[in-house]
Amino acid sequence: MAAHAHTVKRYPGFLGWLWDWLTTVDHKKIGILYLVAGGFFFVIGGIEALFIRLQLIRPLNNFVSEDTFNELITMHGTTMIFLAAMPIIFALMNAIVPLQIGARDVAFPFVNALGFWTFFFGGLLLNIAWLTGEVPDAGWTSYPPLATTAYSSHHGMDYYVLGLQISGIGTLLGGINFMATIINMRAPGMTFMRMPMFTWTSFITSALIVLAFPALTVGLVAMMFDRIFGANFFNVDAGGNIILWEHIFWLFGHPEVYILILPAFGVISEVISTFSRKRLFGYSTMVFATILIAFLGFMVWAHHMFTTGLGPVANALFSIATMAIAVPTGIKVFNWLFTMWGGSIRFTAANLFAIGFIPTFVMGGVTGVMLASAPADFQYHDSYFVVGHFHYTIVGGLVTGLLAGIHYWWPKMFGRMLHEGLGKLTFWFYMIGFHLTFFVQHFLGLLGMPRRVATFLPNQGLDTMNMVSTIGALLMAVGISFFFINIVITSLKPRHATNDPWEDGRTLEWAIPSPAPEYNFKQIPLVRGLDAWWKEKLEGNKEMPPAEPLGPIHMPSPSILPFIMGVGLFISGFGFMYNLVFAVIGIAITLLCMALRSIFDDHGYHIEPDEPKKGEVAA
């Protein structure tokens, strides 16, 4: 029995509710915070996308100025990748992985909260640029010399560097946390090869994050020193080298896209399997293929640099390595198809997204193989062909997968089922709009349209397809609007979801109430095989067998320190740009919080077995 058996002080009213959310270290709440923040940035990124497409609806349009256009494409890419896609991935990982492994929380709950708040304040810092009029405009890839102070003297690129640096800290913390959690906190009986696929992909994604994000950190530090402290890493006249940035950035950038897609692969495995009533076909191969994709993902970065002038040997090697990744990816696609084969397929909205993912991602993947061929890439590179490719994989792949996961796990997170009809409307508008938007872009590129162009000349054969692309974007906006309407309508309904609302849940999260109670599992379960919950259900059991007796449950205490640390970093960001005194103050605040956390021990609190349990009774 621990010495500190204190209960958590909860305050009433709106301020109490706010305090609860600002101080939470509960992975389920942090998951919701990530979802809301990610959703917010997704809307911003989406509006930026619509403005881009409205500008490109016809040749020589002047919907926005050329400067603004460059700001829009930079912010759209940066916001969508770092502040929308990744946080929503973390939302699902946070909400679901501890439940799937039979744990009560992640390994480091305080750090988990810190990860969220640093991401959030980094994202806020970046987007505040819009309000100052000094917006990053050198592309999300931020190539020097364009990104250096010599050619980008306003603070725009500083917002990029500092916002991403701060946000990146959050991501790195998340990666470390999930690796520790998955390695150390699996329930008894859950060997690695009995973990659900979503947990496996979360694990490998976390490893990718831990290995790849430091490269970005290094690059951003170098760029920051060039811009703010007069260093010369990327100043050619002083002996610097711009290709250095390209290598460092893509060393991060390529694993980043696997960080983006692997969790989606995990979602697809779960959703397809559940709604086919069949176990995943070739589970061990799926695990191996995921590991291989991650490993190979570090070997291919220079395929983003085929036209940079690295030479034929480098180009040839990176071409071959890039093509190799198609093999494990293809294996996964066939395994999904054969999971459905012989199954009993139910077309819920969640499953529609998962099924729609397959042909869409395959199309994105095959254009990836086309791009892998360096000599052909000399034509495709920096044209709309590439824009088509990466939107097929990221939007048609990742975002579709996230929509599948969100619709699938919504009851587990919120205790309510999203409306199926609206979900299907979302799917059709979004999918059809998506293909209209991006399929034509492959042709635009081949017909001679470079990327990142604020406009294009008439009479080049580009007019119609650009218009089609814009119309598609508007359809996608309609689809996403249906999704938000769905969320609002659903939130007004009472919490009626059962433990296993899809009835065919296979994994541990479906063994507990929806939403999950504060402590997740009354007793840590005993896992007797792969798809542990399905196995118990098939043997007629209504509950997971326990792996421990009933007893007081040790929970981590909430803390306001992560929020304050985020604020400190936020202030320091402005300080680095405008007044170094504030940079020092901001960092001092953060360090002070770290000191407080280190000096004052908090052993958490306990929930007693006979306490009325928060969330246990369906409201």
Partner 1 sequence: MNRWHAGKKLALALMFGLIPLLAACGRADLSALNPQGPVAQRQFDVLVVAVGIMTLVVVVVFALLIYVLVRFRRRRGDNSIPEQVEGNHKLEIIWTVIPIILLIILAVPTVGAIGKFAEDYWDDPNAVQVKVTAYQYWWEFEYPQYGITTAQELVVPIGKKIAFELVAGDVKHSFWIPAIGGKMDNNPGLTNRFYLEFPTPGVYRGKCAELCGPSHAYMDFKAKAVDQASFDRWVAAMQGPAVLPEDDNIREAFVSKCLTCHAVGDQGSPIGPNLTGLGSRVTVAGILFNDTPEQEYVIDPAKTEENIKLWLEDTQAVKPGNMMPSAGDLQLTREQIDGIAKYLANYQLDYE
Which residue carries 């929806």 as its tokens? 514
Residue closer to partner 1 (CB basis): 148 or 559: 148
Task: Name the nearest CA neighbour of 480 among 85, 42, 91, 89.
Answer: 42
Question: Shortest distance, CB of residue 381 to partner 1, whole angstroms?
Answer: 6
Query: Where on the phi/psi map is residue 558: left (φ > 0), alpha (ψ -120 to 50), or beta?
Result: beta
- Of the pair 24, 70, the CB lying nearest partner 1 is at 70
Whole-angstrom distance, CA of residue 93 vs CA of residue 86: 10
372 or 497: whose CB is closer to partner 1?
372
Return the number of the residue (39 or 472) whose C-beta is nearest partner 1: 472
CB of 466 or CB of 572, closer to partner 1: 466
At residue 554, the 3 state secondary structure works out as strand
**What SS3 class is residue 525?**
strand
Please report how close the Cβ of residue 478 comes to partner 1 at its closest, in angstroms: 16
Sign of the four-CA dihedral 327, 210, 254, 353:
positive
Query: What is the residue type of 20?
Result: D
The first and second tokens of residue 136, run together, are 């990053």
Do residues 393 and 361 make contact, with C-beta atoms less than 8 angstroms apart?
A: yes
Shortest approach of partner 1 to residue 240 CB, angstroms? 8
Closest distance between partner 1 and the C-beta of residue 445, in Å?
A: 8
With CA atoms as reference, report the closest residue to 360 among 294, 431, 428, 281: 431
- Cα–Cα distances (Å) from 482 to 351, 387, 424, in that order, read 17, 26, 9
Q: How far is the CB of 76 from partner 1 (least distance, A)?
A: 13
Closer residue to partner 1 (CB): 374 or 589: 374
The residue among 105 and 246 lying less far from partner 1, judged by its C-beta, is: 246
For residue 206, the SS3 value is helix
Residue 603 C-beta: closest distance to partner 1, Å: 44
Interatomic CA distance for residues 257 and 364, integer angstroms = 13
Residue 431 CB, nearest distance to partner 1 (Å)? 8
Least separation in angstroms between residue 213's CB and partner 1 is 24
508 to 108, 500, 517, 524, 536: CA distances (angstroms)? 21, 10, 14, 11, 10
Q: How far is the CB of 314 from partner 1 (least distance, A)?
A: 10
- Whose CA is closest to 108, among 201, 171, 180? 180
Which is closer to partner 1, CB of 75 or CB of 583?
Answer: 75
Q: Coil, helix or strand for 606? A: strand
Alpha-carbon distance of 272 to 400, in angstroms, equals: 13
- The answer to whether 509 and 497 are in contact (CB under 8 A) is no
Q: How far is the CB of 333 from partner 1 (least distance, A)?
A: 6
Cβ-based burial of 317 (10 A; exposed 0-12, middle 13-18, buried ≥19): middle
Closer residue to partner 1 in complex, CB, 424/613 = 424
DSSP track, 66-134: HHHHHHHHHHHHHIIIIIIIHHHHHHHHHHHHHHHTT-SS-S-HHHHHHHHHHHHHHHHHHHHHHHHT-
User: Which is nearer to partner 1, 157 or 166 (by Cβ)?
Assistant: 157
CB of 204 to partner 1, least distance (A): 19
Q: How far is the CB of 364 from partner 1 (least distance, A)?
A: 11
Return the number of the residue (36 or 291) whose C-beta is nearest partner 1.
Answer: 291
Residue number, 165 or 276, with CB nearest to partner 1:
276
Decide if 572 contacts 586 (C-beta within 8 A): yes
**Residues in Cβ contact with 402 at an 8 Å cutoff, skipping those fewer than 6 apart:** 85, 88, 89, 92, 264, 267
CB 508 within 8 A of CB 187: yes
Compare residues 416 and 442 and give the one whose CB is closer to partner 1.
Answer: 442
Q: In the complex, what is the shortest distance from the CB of residue 115 to partner 1, in angstroms, rounded to a whole number?
A: 32
